[in-house]
Structure 1
Amino acid sequence: MAGRSGRTVRDLRRANRGAVLQRLYFDGPLSRFELGPVTGLSSGSVSNVVADLIGDGLVEEAGSVDSDGGRPRTLLRVTPDSGHMIGVDVGETRVRVELFDLTLTELARAERPLEQQRYEVDVIVDHIHAGITEVLAAAGLAPERLLGVGIGVPGIVEHTPDRGAVVHGQTIGWDAIELESLLRNGSPLPDGVPCFIDNGARTLGQAEMWFGAGRGARNALVVLFGSGVGACLVTPEAEHGRAVEWGHLTVRVRGRRCRCGALGCLEAYAGAESLLARWREEGGRVPRGVDEETALTAMLAAAYPSGTVAADPVALAVLEETAEYLGAGLSDLINLFQPERILVGGWAGLQLGARFLPAVRNHALSYALRHPAENVTIELGSLGPDAVTVGAAILPLADFFARGGRRPDPDPESPPPAWRRALRERTPH
């Protein structure tokens, strides 16, 4: 039965379960008495929901605390092994796959380096399949127990009703790649385990906002600085974040050719790939036969040597110019969105770290309008190199909360998606 708002009793129960689960997840352990004020539910509703969640194995008792003159209050927490998620980061130098329990404690991980074959779709799909199989085997976990798999990828992700997630990754040569369909073909997972695919900057933003330096901010930008650059905008209207193709704002008319094909993009000056290319073009001794992370480490060591060794003036000049381009790019975000926080993450951002950030911050504030510049802080993200993977795992976790802690039920009346029909057609009869 639906009420005047159109919400059914089932919708209400799902919302109440989700509210209790999320408060225990982020603020627990909590007592039933404490859950009432933070969820807005009556004591009777809290008791009913908690009993339901305990019966489903999602919540467990976690000791007790003394109350004011009454009986001790039992504390409740989310049961860690009541659900599991996999997060996948399709990065610039490797594909990283991690298995987590419901509290996002890492249980197993697998990594596959990306070398000459870099972004060939079949290679990426094989790496993801192999990584999923490996982490499940390492933890001894049946795939049916997964709440889902979240995957962070470069590019624009389009969610379609018939083809699933389609990736438009112009900088990596992906033109409308039906990644969800490809992943389902030969997948080690049963059909009932959902797959969530989104932009890597957005998954980074999810992680920092839920568990990192973005907690408590209502309006923030989380910047991914790797081979290229991207950003995730979080506002009250887009609380789960919106990917922004920040790296392809034009910062110099008729400038350097970006890997997207356009001229003068920020990414052509500020991404690690272009940074190393500019060092090489200016005569810098870029190590050969190593990945970008190792090469960037060498560049930093050349620009900021220890002891009495003289700094490489070319490496230093390129890094200083890059700091100004990044700062100018951040000033555009400050003027456009007026965030209260900007967090810099990604493997290159973290590697450049505290040594690089003050110069970036100074340039950003000098190029931005005075009022929004006075009201923003610019800091490094706090979750380290695994932030994209953690954020990818949050995608199925957020869906689980939205369902009130229930796994998705198949709808027999709905037509199967195109990827499932295609698989059936390929299967010999």
Structure 2
Amino acid sequence: MRATGGRTVRDLRRENRTAVLQRLYFDGPLSRFSLGPATGLSSGSVSNVVADLVAEGLVEEAGSVDSAGGRPRTLLRIRQDSACMIGVDVGETRVRVELFDLDLTELARVEKPLAVDGPRRVDRYDVAVVVGHVRDGIEEVIREAGVDPGRLLGVGVGVPGIVARPPEGGAVVHGQTIGWDAVPLEELLRASVPLPPSVPYFIDNGAKTLGQAEMWFGAGRGASSAVVVLFGSGVGACVVSDDLRSGRAVEWGHLTVRVRGRRCRCGSQGCLEAYAGAEALLERWREAGGSPAAGADEETALTSMLAAAYPAGPGAEADATALAVLEETAEYLGAGFADLINLFQPERILVGGWAGLQLGNRFLDSVRTYATSYALSYPASHVRIGLGTLGPDAVTVGAAILPLADFFAHGGHREPAGAGEAAAPAWKASLRERTAQ
């Protein structure tokens, strides 16, 4: 049966279920009475949806509250043990795999280090090694938590680079900075990881998964639009126009900020990442005469640079070289932020990633000043720039949210979105006939 606007009755039921599940998830526990105005649904629709969700084991009662002059109202909430999901972060020094329940309580975690002492940075991202780490990590967290793999809503994976989805299916990763050229990651994982074929994979850019996490549960919550910046060895960004919808990853780190400038690890010259990523920042400090600890990883080296630039002891003298490099980096980042402000006019810009959080508010104050000076005054006056609140592991949380968001979008059903849908709308047939003449 087809409803108004080209939507079927099936579509409307799914949308009603989605509305109830989302409100219970983000604002619950709630009563049936409260769900009406919260979702815009009639009391009859709410009752029908809730009855179905309770029967399916997705929703349960959670006590009651007094009502004004009537019987107590039963509260409802999502059953946190009704399903679970896995989040994977293919990071800069490790592959992190976490298993969560529906409340995003961590059930198990595994970290697999990526080698950092090879002659080239891309050596650590050997495809076979990464796939093996993901496979082993998934097996380990499922075994540790004692979870039935059939309960999985899916596996979300955050990766560096651009993720394409060709018509023949399966996510393909183009990671120029890590030496991945059209890597069929989803196909490789399906062939390697012993999960039921029904368990879906959701592979996306790490900045996008970070953005998803911050918008749902962190500093972006309640914003109508935001740009979430991932600042680690390199830099990336996710543009979000709705707090409950998936954002769009943009290769912000590869905007040209200086013509014929420094060589970027992507192979081009003058990219923002060649000046503002942690890897480039530390390299520039070394070139200027700084002395990061020999053999230290990037996180340790950045810590020592910050300690040199901002000494904690009373009367301690700052390292002028480290301070100058950080200030120059703040200007480059400020100019990059100004581009984001002018292009997208967001309500908020949020900085996450291990390096961004380590640099902290003191560094961000300088970035804000430069961003305001380089951006157009009107959008600059309406943006708030701050740090993310979910910590350095937020990419993994965001990756786990990808299957959860898909589950909500399907109204709490695990079948593919297109399963059992009606024939194509009539306008498609009309246009095909017109163009065939």
Smaller-chain TM-score range? over 0.9
- Tell me, in whole angstroms, the C-alpha distance in 2 between the residues paired with 1:168 and 1:380: 28
Distance (Å, rounded) in 2 between the aligned partners of 1:28 and 1:130: 36
* Maintained 8 Å contact 1:93/1:292: no
Equivalent AA in structure 1 for residue 251 of structure 2: E
8 Å Cα contact 1:219-1:340 kept in structure 2: yes
In structure 2, the residue matched to 1:290 is 296
Residue 369 of structure 2 is aligned to residue 369 of structure 1: no
Query: Deviation digits for residues 396-416 of structure 1, max 9, x if unmatched?
Result: 001100111111269999xxx
- Within the candidate set 387, 393, 399, 1:386 is matched to 393
SS of 1:47's equivalent in the other structure is helix
Aligned to 1:105: 105
Deviates more, 1:235-244 or 1:11-20: 235-244
1:395 aligns with 2:402: yes
Task: Give distance in 2, aligned partners of 1:133 and 1:283.
Answer: 46
Deviations 1:15-68 (A, max 9, x none): 111111110000100000000111111111111111110111100111110000
Counterpart CA distance in 2 for 1:249 and 1:411 is: 37
* Unaligned runs of at least 5 residues, structure 2: 421-437
Tell me the residue number matched to 1:425. none
Aligned counterpart, 2:45: 45
Q: Which amino acid aligns with 1:299?
A: M
Contact 2:225–2:243, Cα closer than 8 Å, also in 1:
no
Name the counterpart of 1:419.
Answer: none
Deviations 1:68-87 (A, max 9, x none): 00000000000000110101
**Match in the other structure for 2:66:** 66
RMSD of aligned residue pairs (Cα, Å): 1.8
1:234 paired to 2:240: yes
| 1:97 partner amino acid | V
Could you say which residue in structure 2 is the equivalent of 1:427? none
Asked whether the 8 Å contact 1:147–1:194 carries over to 2, the reply is: yes
Measure, in 2, the Cα distance between the counterparts of 1:82 and 1:153.
28
1:119 corresponds to 2:111 = no
Aligned-partner Cα distance in 2 for 1:114–1:320 = 31
* Range moving further from structure 2, 97-106 or 65-74: 97-106
Aligned to 1:220: 226
Corresponding residue for 1:423?
A: none
Report the equivalent of 2:91: 91
Aligned counterparts of 2:244 and 2:342: Cα–Cα separation in 1:
18
SS across alignment from 2:199 = coil
The structure-2 alpha-carbon separation of the partners of 1:409 and 1:279, relative to structure 1 and needing over 3 Å to count, comes to closer
Kept in 2: contact 1:342–1:376 (CA 8 A): yes
What code does the residue aligned with 1:158 have? A
Aligned pair partner of 2:326 in 316, 319, 324: 319
Displacement, 1:360? 0.7
2:82 paired with 1:82:
yes
1:209 match: 215
- Alignment-mate amino acid for residue 175 of structure 2: G
SS at match of 1:263: coil
Is the partner of 1:81 in helix, strand or coil? coil
Greater shift, 142-151 or 5-14, is seen at: 5-14
Q: Distance in 2 between matches of 1:19 and 1:30?
A: 13
| Corresponding residue for residue 348 of structure 2 | 341
Give SS of 1:164's match: coil
Change (3 A) 1:290 1:188: farther
Distance of 1:8 and 1:368 partners within structure 2: 46
Q: Which amino acid aligns with 1:13?
A: R
Q: Is the 8 A contact 2:286 2:292 kept in 1?
A: yes
Question: What is the CA-CA distance between 1:10 and the residue it aligns to?
Answer: 2.1
SS at 2:171 equivalent? strand
Query: Normalised by the size of structure 2, how large is the TM-score?
Result: 0.92
Q: Distance in 2 between matches of 1:29 and 1:37?
A: 15
* Structure 1 equivalent of residue 423 of structure 2: none
Matched-pair identity in % = 75
Instruction: Call closer, same or farther: CA 1:22–1:238 in 2, change over 3 Å.
Output: closer
CA distance in 2, matches of 1:312, 1:380: 25
- Could you tell me whether the CA contact under 8 Å between 1:192 and 1:410 is conserved in 2? no
Q: Does 1:30 align with 2:30?
A: yes
Task: List gaps (5 residues or longer) in structure 1.
Answer: 414-429
Give, as a single letter, the amino acid of the residue that structure 1 aligns with 2:56. D
Size of the alignment, in residue pairs? 414
Structure 1 runs, 4 residues or longer, greater than 3 Å off: 236-239, 409-413
Q: Distance in 1 between matches of 2:71 and 2:281?
A: 64
Change (3 A) 1:356 1:411: closer
Query: Per-residue deviation at 1:93?
Result: 1.3
TM superposition shift of 1:306: 2.1
Pair 410,266 (structure 1): closer, same or farther in 2 beyond 3 Å:
closer
Deviation by residue 1:277-325 (Cα, 9 ceiling, x = unmatched) = 1111112111222221111111111211221443222211111111111
Q: Distance in 1 between matches of 2:333 and 2:77?
A: 43
The answer for the alignment partner of 2:364 in structure 1 is: 357
Distance 1:148 1:285, change over 3 A: same
Q: 1:411 to 1:262 in 2, by over 3 A?
A: closer
The one-letter code sitting in structure 2 at the alignment partner of 1:260 is: C
Cα shift readout 1:210-267 (whole Å, capped 9, x = no counterpart)? 1111111111110010110011111159931111110011111111000011110000
Which secondary structure does the structure 2 equivalent of 1:218 belong to? coil
Change (3 A) 1:337 1:412: closer
Following the alignment from structure 2 to structure 1, what is the Cα–Cα distance between the partners of residues 91 and 189? 17
In structure 2, how many angstroms separate the alpha carbons of the residues matched to 1:409 and 1:170? 31
Do structure 1's residue 167 and structure 2's residue 167 form an aligned pair? no
Secondary structure at 1:391 match in 2: helix
Q: In the alignment, is the contact (CA less than 8 A) between 1:270 and 1:326 conserved in 2?
A: yes
Are 2:262 and 1:256 equivalent residues in the alignment? yes
Aligned to 1:272: 278
Contact kept, 8 Å, 1:201 with 1:230, in 2: the verdict is yes
Looking at structure 1, the residues matched to 395 and 310 of structure 2 have their Cα atoms a distance apart, in angstroms, of 28
Residue type of the alignment partner of 1:396? P
CA contact (8 A) 2:275 2:281 kept: yes
Q: 1:239 to 1:358 in 2, by over 3 A?
A: same
